[in-house]
Amino acid sequence: MSSDFMIRVEDLRKVYRVGEIDVAALRGVNLEVARGEFVSIVGPSGSGKSTLFHILGGLTKPTSGSVHIDGKDLRKMSEAERTDLRKKTVGFVFQKYNLLPTLTGAGNIAIAQDIAGILPGFDNDFKAILNLLGIGNRLHHKPRAMSGGEQQRVAIARAIVNHPAILLADEPTGNLDTENSNAVLGVLRDLNERLGQTILMITHNPEAAAYGHRIIHMRDGRVI
């Protein structure tokens, strides 16, 4: 296994049982993402993008095929090891910000540290990331006092506070207007270019996809 690849997927298949019918969500996907690469995955609804996302994040088990994340073979992992992967190796950003309304921005970020068993507090590297995100002066505000773009940037900060090897972003601008979308996408690009963060972003928006180094198209459970 080459250490140059953060993600390597071979002949990945996922079949769901719906009643008495088997539905193939992934039909033999092959994919490699280099360390430090920013890759966009695009495709219509039902193309298998979200299923791939959940498998890569250790949220769903594949029916068959191999998945390696940062050199780790997901097939050989116990449930506890998969949970540890989600805590420390993979950061998640979703379309919905999923911030707790009763906590400040800093409190929401600290949740990820607590889950990973890390003492709350921001090291100098992460303080630099907060400046890059442009939310350093918003961390004492609760979500209701933030714009959508600010909330999503807090969600990004929460995803990377534990310095994960890879950031998985599923439609991160889906709830944002054009201005906030561009701001969030610019932040992702800066994280990649300045810090070398590996990013895999799922989107249906071709303008958003263009922020990545490479665009992968999916349709009917396959890479095309």
CATH number at residue 109: 3.40.50.300
Are the C-beta atoms of residues 38 and 199 closer than 8 Å to each other?
A: yes
In the numeric block, the tokens 């420390």 are attached to 88
Give the pLDDT of the chain (224 residues) as one tens digit per residue: 445 899 999 999 999 988 889 999 999 999 999 999 999 999 988 899 999 999 999 999 999 999 999 988 998 899 999 998 888 899 999 988 889 999 999 999 998 888 888 877 777 778 888 888 888 888 999 999 999 999 999 999 999 988 899 999 999 998 889 998 998 999 999 999 988 999 999 998 899 999 999 999 999 999 98
Range of the domain at 126: 36-61+78-219
Is residue 176 a part of any domain in this protein? yes
Is residue 143 a part of any domain in this protein? yes
Q: Which of 143, 156, 207, 210 is nearest to 179 (CA)?
A: 207
Give the whole-angstrom CA distance, residue 22 versus residue 220: 14
Are the C-beta atoms of residues 147 and 180 closer than 8 Å to each other?
A: yes
pLDDT score of 1: 41
Give the whole-angstrom CA distance, residue 55 versus residue 93: 15
The pTM of the full predicted model, rounded to 2 decimals, is: 0.90
Is residue 134 a part of any domain in this protein? yes
Tally the domains of the chain.
1
Is residue 183 a part of any domain in this protein? yes
pLDDT score of 168: 96
Looking at the DSSP bridge assignments, the partners of residue 10 are 66
Is residue 140 a part of any domain in this protein? yes
Is residue 7 a part of any domain in this protein? no
Is residue 16 a part of any domain in this protein? no
pLDDT score of 3: 59
- Exposure b/e, 181-194, CB count within 10 A at least 16 = b: bbbbbebbbebbee
Give the whole-angstrom CA distance, residue 14 versus residue 67: 12
Q: What does DSSP say about strands 5-18 and 64-69: parallel, antiparallel, or unpaired?
A: antiparallel
Give the whole-angstrom CA distance, residue 47 versus residue 187: 27
For 106, the token pair is 């800093």
Are the C-beta atoms of residues 92 and 85 closer than 8 Å to each other?
A: no
The CA angle 165-167-173, to the nearest 5 degrees, is 165
For 200, the token pair is 């895999």
Is residue 20 a part of any domain in this protein? no
